[in-house]
Structure 1
């Protein structure tokens, strides 16, 4: 695979790998006019092999009109986050880039690809106030980030902040917020069962949340 170093190089590499059948598949979740038509495996491999791309280029990729270019950028953030400890300046730069460009992170899979590590792991030993602020956002994708980032805290920390966020969003009208909420409830059942019982006693899950929380049903979140 070639090693592009600019936005134009990334786009050229993606277009060489495009196929019409992928446009049909991706159009089920993304507006057709934003799709190049590239298999996700190629997109993820491209990001992994270029995880050291300059962050200014990554920022430009996030701002791209094209979905796959945004996915490359978000996947680079996730790949980089796996290489550095949360307290390093590198992780701060990744976290700030994700939140600073959130208006361009506008599909469930873009959120899910990076929010657990880039945001959740970063905040594990820091104040969770940014997650609470996101949970009150008018942008549904920022609200989804608040929940998806909380997965890391549910799995590796205490449940108090995630529970507060879930309570804030328990009646959220957006389906993609509700599916994330259901997955969070499933994670609570695994890691903090008593807290999950109390939450479910006080809140009636929507159908979307119930499906995501159900045994054997998984909302697709990056591990």
Structure 2
């Protein structure tokens, strides 16, 4: 068994003061910014991924929880990446029944949701949510029924910025499978949000829809461009032609 203390010890041996300062600026940790007070050891993401790879499936939930509640950003990232690995292991292999390991998927997803607010910066959300919650919501429960995707609506209606971002970015899993309804529904709930990190996330997911079905994106924009923040719109139309981008920006 690998403990949270083992992982943190490995991380502390890799501390980088110069990179710590860079990350503090990049993730907006100054007073009044969205990452205020977050602390960094100075590890790059590939370094954290390497640590996780060495101990994947060997860290129990209690130790993952200790990582998720750590004051160190990289430790929390390691905790969420460990949950991604757990969900990969609980996803049916080719030839297995879709209900295989369904109970384990539910356990992992419920643990993730219970600790969602520990994902208190955009990278922690974006590198984990759709890879943990996506498979759970896309595959049947042990009884053959499907998990209720209304959990995303509840997250979108939260008073917590990070849970709201989890709601929209999780829909990436469905977009990759060619299903767009959840993205459009959650976008509707978040179009009036005041924060730039939600404007960008909604626009990003809409752009992903457009990469797979441009007519669906065009139809959504025609119906909603008037109530859409300019940042969301710019992200959504990024891959369109200059003429079409100009058309929507003038609407």
TM-score (norm 2): 0.79
**Runs of 4+ in structure 1 over 6 Å off:** none
User: Relative contact order (alpha carbons < 8 A, sep ≥ 6): 1 or 2 greater?
Assistant: 1
User: Which of residues 192, 201, 215 in structure 1 aligns to 2:239?
Assistant: 215
Greater Cα offset, 135-144 or 205-214: 205-214
Deviation at 1:9, TM superposition (A): 1.6
Within-5 A mapping of 1:18-33: 18-27=15-24, 28-29=26-27, 31=29
Task: Tell me the distance in 2 between the aligned counterparts of 1:122 and 1:100.
Answer: 15
- 2:126 is aligned to 112
Task: Tell me the distance in 2 between the aligned counterparts of 1:95 and 1:19.
Answer: 33
Structure 2 regions of 5+ residues with no counterpart? 30-36, 93-98, 140-146, 241-251
- 2:193 is aligned to 172
- 1:58 is aligned to 64
- 1:137 and 2:158 aligned: yes
What count of residue pairs does the alignment treat as equivalent? 213
Structure 1 regions of 5+ residues with no counterpart? 217-223
Task: Tell me the distance in 2 between the aligned counterparts of 1:51 and 1:179.
Answer: 31
Asked if structure 1 preserves the Cα contact closer than 8 Å seen for 2:91 and 2:135, the reply is no
CA RMSD of aligned residues (A): 1.9
User: Which of residues 7, 11, 14 in structure 2 aligns to 1:14?
Assistant: 11
Deviations 1:177-222 (A, max 9, x none): 1111011111111223332112111222423223433129xxxxxx
Q: Which has the larger radius of gyration?
A: 2
Residue 172 of structure 1 aligns to a residue whose secondary structure is: coil
